[in-house]
Structures are given as C-alpha cells and as structure tokens.
Amino acid sequence: MKDEAPKAARSDSDTGAAGAAGAVSRRRLLGTAGAAGATGLVLGAAGGAAAYAGMRADDPVALTTVGSTRAMFHGKHQAGITTPLQARGHLIAFDLAPGAGRKEAAALMRRWSATAERLMAGRPAGDRDGHDTGIALDAGPSSLTVTFGFGRTFFERTGLTGRRPAGLDPLPPFSSDHLDAKRSDGDLWVQIGADDALVAFHALRALQKEAAATARVRWQMNGFNRTPGATEQQRTARNLMGQIDGTGNPKPSDSDFDQRIFVPSSTGSDGASPGSGPESDWLAGGSYAVVRRIRMLLDDWEKLPVERQERVIGRRKADGAPLSGGTETTEMDLDKAGPDGRLLIPDNAHSRISSPEKNGGAAMLRRPFSYHDGIAADGTPDAGLLFICWQADPFRGFVPVQRKLDRGDALSPFIRHEASGVFAVPGGAAKGEYVGQRLLES
C-alpha cells in the first residue's frame, strides 16, 4: 500500500514562539498528508504518522516545534488539502442571510481571506473594529489552515447558477445513509485545522464574527487527530475503532496525482472532469470536498474478537499489514489463499472492496478528523469520523467506490452516515486576491 502524500507548504523562516530550538527540528514535522485511495471508512482516515510520512520511522519529533510550524495562505491550491493532518479541526457551514447576494458574499470572502491570512501567519485576527479575542495569545501559527468552499445552493443565492459546476450535482442515496438535513450541505463551508486547540478555536471564533449579518451558521462539527510528538516515533494513526488508518494514500509522485485531486483548466474535451468547462474556469486548481459525518457503532464493533475485526477490514490490527502478508506498506495480494483454499483477504473485506484495483483506479485524497460528541440517550458513544475526501470529480472518485461499498462491505453494519455535503473549493488566492474572487468578480 502507498503511505506517502504531498508535502505541506510551510515557512522555514518563521520560527514563531519555538525560537531557535524549534527551528532545528522543524523540517522533521514537514511531512506529507495522508489520504487513502478509495472511499471507505478505515482506509480513509489518514492521520498521525501517515500524515508525516516524509519522516523516517525512527525520527522523533521535537515537541517545541509544534507551535512554530506555518502553512502558507497564498498558493496554487488552498491550504488544508495536502497539508499534514492537524491535531484539532473544526468544520462549519454557513447559509447566506436573507437579502444577502453576490455583492455581500464577495465582501465576506474578502474579509475571511484577510483574516485567514493573518491567523495562518500567527498574527492577531483584528476584526473590523480592530479587536482580537486574545484566545491564541502566546501561541505560534501551530500549522493553522483555513479552507473555503461553496455549496450548490450558494450559486442560486448569488445569481450565479450559470457558473455552477456539474460536480456539485446531488449525490445519489446510499443504503448506509441516515442523513440529518440540518447538519448537511450549506451555502459556504469552512475547514479549520491546527495543532493547538486554542489556535483552532480562535480561528473559528474570528471567522464566525466576520460573517456578521452576511451569513448564519447552519452546522458546526469538531474533530481531532493524534498530536504531533505524542508518540516516540512517527506512526500511522489509529481511528476510534483502533485500526491503523491511512496506509493506502495517493502520493504526489504518482503521474496522475494532480489529475485525480485538482480540477484542471478548461480543456473542452469530453473526458474533462466536472468543473473543467468554461462555466467554471474559476475552479481551476481547486478541488471538490465530500464531507460525511460517519458514526461508528463502537459498542457493536468492540464485541468482535480481534481476529474477526481483522477479517472485516482485511488488515492486521496490530500493525496494519494486509492479511495476505508483509508489512503495513506491502501491496495487498487480493488473490492469495490460505491452506484451506479461502482468500486471506475476504471477498467482503473493507480494504478489498475500497481498493483502487477493484474500482477502476478510482481514488481520492482523504483527510478526516475523528469526533466524539458525548454519550447518546441509549448509552452508546456518539463518536466516529468526520470524513473529508478531495478529488477533481466526486462522480469519478467518491460515488463509484461508495456504491461498491454499499453492495456488501463487511464494515457497513458497524457504521452509519449521518450527515453529508459536497463543496467546490476554489484554487488558492494569489497575492492581492481573496478566495473565490475569480468567481464572484467575473
């Protein structure tokens, strides 16, 4: 399996609060983002050391570097897509307020972009009154990223339906869907990630305040991953089922990586992905985010013996190696059988069904957060995965693989999809631009 992914854009000149000691080890943190090549739950939760795969397995992390690492706001792509997974995340969707249209949306995106640029550099937010809450005082940038996207309804409410890309067409229903409409979709979507919880919350609060009367919160979700430096050595993270998670990730060295993850400029060819036509040139260099709140039925899962859990996933729980043998990064041998003639990786194993080999090469960059929202009324934990996957075309990435999983994934009885959304995420803003300017001012 592949365990490399794109390197984050970080500044080596900005040491922040960590000082010289942090600067010595900063490059050890600048690894690569984990994201699996197909849409299931377990292989999809790229995190922990999978997100830092550029490091040697025996290369310890200096904890003093956590606050000093910085992601860059300006660039070809928005930060938060190929950036290494952060320890804390917030997802928030807004709907434009009644009466707000294209002009108001453009002003909001201008404000949000300016605020995100300041915060990602480790500077105070400075709202329209020049005030900052002080929540993140004394902290460095802490790998903060802020990523913005537009939902399907945004184009209706701004009079831009003619610029809406086909990739925002509604997803088909799936058998595991138990979707709550109040926690799904939205005009605007913001993803916040940081390696410090206060830095992440500071950004969340600043952006909510900047929305003011222009947009109102539709839903908001909080997530987490393993903190850099929490383990003696960098290791692939485990999800809340205890599975090593994020091994089979697309990597930037793949010749088709950009083609699979980022929307190209208009080509006019029949094979172009949604978002690559003339009506959506504004999306070039951007991507589509499919966001799903996936609840794990942990009480049921934890009743299974480890051997059964391994057959559900198709990998060893201890080290993530495929049941066909080898180590975590060994390619799965899907045809290998045991002495009894049975396939070592069962026909309905999650890793088999979701593998690119079984889905015509369909792949996406998955970058989720785990979540825990307390204990439900029936005494079960409300916990699972805030699944986020990135692709140039959700109807060639997420949809076909999820349909395949829908037809017999052994993991399906242990998960439930409770919220969903698809968002068109523009490319990065150049100096002097704000995110979405090519759409809103065209």
- Asked if residues 5 and 250 have their Cβ atoms less than 8 Å apart, the reply is yes
Question: How many Cα atoms are found within 13 Å in the side-chain-facing hemisphere of 236?
Answer: 31
Residue from 41, 38, 56, 27 nearest 2 by CA:
38
Q: Which two tokens stand for residue 430?
A: 């150049």
Strand segments (E) across 306-438: 365-366, 369-375, 381-391, 415-425
Told to judge if 299 belongs to the known catalytic residues of this protein, a careful annotator would answer no
DSSP state of 310: H
**Nearest residue to 221 via CA among 51, 44, 372, 34:** 372
Q: Which of 95, 245, 393, 409 is catalytic?
A: 245
Q: Are the C-beta atoms of 228 and 195 separated by less than 8 Å?
A: yes
Exposed / middle / buried, residue 203 (Cβ in 10 Å: 0-12, 13-18, 19+): buried
Q: Residue 372 and residue 81: Cα distance in Å, rounded?
A: 23
* Helices 102-120 + 197-211 axis angle, to 10: 160
* CA separation for the pair 309, 138 (Å, rounded): 44
Q: What is the DSSP string of 145-173?
A: EEEEEE-HHHHHHTT-GGG--GGGSPPPP
**Which tokens sit at 211?**
């929305």
Positions marked active-site = 245
